[in-house]
Amino acid sequence: MKVTATFLDEITWDIPHQNWGPSEWDRDFAAMKKMGIGTVVLIRSGLARWLAYPSRYLHEKCGCAIPELDLIDLFLTLAEKHGMRFFCGTYVSQFYLGKGQPEKELEIDLKSAEEVWRLYGGRKAFRGWYLSHEFSGRNDALAELQAALGRRCKELSGGLPVLMSPFIRGRKEGNAWDPAILNGRESIDPEEHKRTWGGILEQLKGAVDIVAFQDGHTDYFELETYLRINRELCESFGMESWTNCESFDRDMPIKFLPIHWEKMLYKLRAAERAGFTEAITFEFSHFMSPYSIYGGAHGLYDRYMEYLEKQQKA
């Protein structure tokens, strides 16, 4: 069981920025490649007023700031240099959904995706899409939005694969600003998870090709059960199933620093037993990189490389 993909968490929602320029990113892509990562997935092309690319459309429509550094261009360039696939995350306005206007969110997300495809669609490394809205099945409007957005992305790009990474409404559900250990106040059990997501994946047929559930919201001992359900659900709808093996630790009061290697190993093995062959991680550059601003990531990289070596010998 190997980590073969990572998210790129710029523009971030709850993870502080590393303030890297092109040379730091180049070094980081080289480390990813060495670790066996072949696919990089931009978490989103923009969030609220902050953008990963200089979007005329979003600047005019939503007052977004035009960034100094065009991250989409940079990431494509580095993916090409290092022989990797790039999946582009869509835009998240973080505004209309909260106001109960998903159709406005969808309109903006679609226009931004069209602009992205116009600007970068011809690039060699542009090999897929990522639907940036994270959800857990409680929100019908979001499922519809994802379906429409996914279908449009495929249509634009001649059928490039579309990835999504929802979360499980497990015991550790909650948000990063929550005072207590993540509370899972509205958590559901595996059976309800299965029922709910059966309905949602039905809606998403033809719009989503790969589903990578986040693996951090369940207790460790329940993870394998959820992973099996997820794989079987995806298979039954003809979708690919990856695990999103999170490399940060949800159990600590500092939200978030790199996870303990023993915990990550536990999750990788649970995924292996559940029949998975592909893992993406959220995410390499903060939590697993030898160049991360967080020292715990340096050790996590070393431990993972030792694990890889052992696997290769075996």
Q: Within 10 Å of residue 73's Cβ, how many Cβ atoms?
A: 16
> From residue 7, how far is each of 64, 169, 223 by CA, in Å?
23, 21, 21
Q: In what order do the strands lie in the sheet with 91-92?
A: 50-51, 46-47, 91-92
**Considering the complex, what minimum distance in angstroms separates the CB of residue 9 from a second copy?**
12
What six digits make up the tokens of 48?
């609220």
Say how far apart CA 133 and CA 260 lie, in whole Å: 27
Q: SS3 of 40, please?
A: strand
* Among positions 184, 190, 198, 299, the unique one binding a second copy when judged by CB under 8 A: 299
Say how far apart CA 272 and CA 39 lie, in whole Å: 20
Cβ burial, residue 33 (10 Å; 0-12/13-18/19+): middle
* Contact flags string 134-173 toward a second copy, x per CB under 8 A: ----------------------------------------
Region of 104-112, 224-232, 238-246, 300-308 interacting with a second copy (CB under 8 A): 300-308
**Between 66 and 81, CB nearer to a second copy:** 66
* Among positions 98, 99, 122, 221, the unique one binding a second copy when judged by CB under 8 A: 221
Q: Is 309 in the site for a second copy (CB under 8 A)?
A: no
Q: SS3 of 89, please?
A: strand
Instruction: Report the site for a second copy in 31-70 (rule: CB under 8 A).
Output: 49-50, 63, 65, 67-69
Cβ burial, residue 300 (10 Å; 0-12/13-18/19+): buried
* Among positions 56, 140, 176, 273, the unique one binding a second copy when judged by CB under 8 A: 176
Q: Is 19 in the site for a second copy (CB under 8 A)?
A: yes
Note if the bond before 95 is cis, omega within 30 degrees.
no
What six digits make up the tokens of 132?
């940036």
Helix locations, 83-222, DSSP H:
102-120, 140-156, 190-204
Say how far apart CA 52 and CA 42 lie, in whole Å: 9
Region of 125-133, 189-197, 210-218, 297-305 interacting with a second copy (CB under 8 A): 297-305
Q: Is 22 in the site for a second copy (CB under 8 A)?
A: no
Region of 17-25, 91-99, 162-170, 198-206 interacting with a second copy (CB under 8 A): 17-25
* Among positions 34, 124, 181, 273, the unique one binding a second copy when judged by CB under 8 A: 181
**Between 111 and 298, CB nearer to a second copy:** 298
* Contact flags string 243-262 toward a second copy, x per CB under 8 A: ------x--xxxxxxxxxxx
**Between 24 and 240, CB nearer to a second copy:** 24
Q: Is 220 in the site for a second copy (CB under 8 A)?
A: yes
Site size toward a second copy, by CB under 8 A: 52
What six digits make up the tokens of 267?
């999750």
**Considering the complex, what minimum distance in angstroms separates the CB of residue 199 from a second copy?**
32
Region of 13-21, 103-111, 165-173, 209-217 interacting with a second copy (CB under 8 A): 13-21
**Considering the complex, what minimum distance in angstroms separates the CB of residue 32 from a second copy?**
18
The neighbouring-strand residues paired with 3 are: 279
Work out the angle between the directed axes of helices 223-236 and 190-204 (0-180°, nearest 10): 30
Say how far apart CA 297 and CA 83 lie, in whole Å: 24
- The footprint of a second copy (CB under 8 A) covers 12, 14-21, 24, 49-50, 63, 65, 67-69, 176-181, 220-221, 249, 252-263, 265-266, 292-300, 302-303, 306
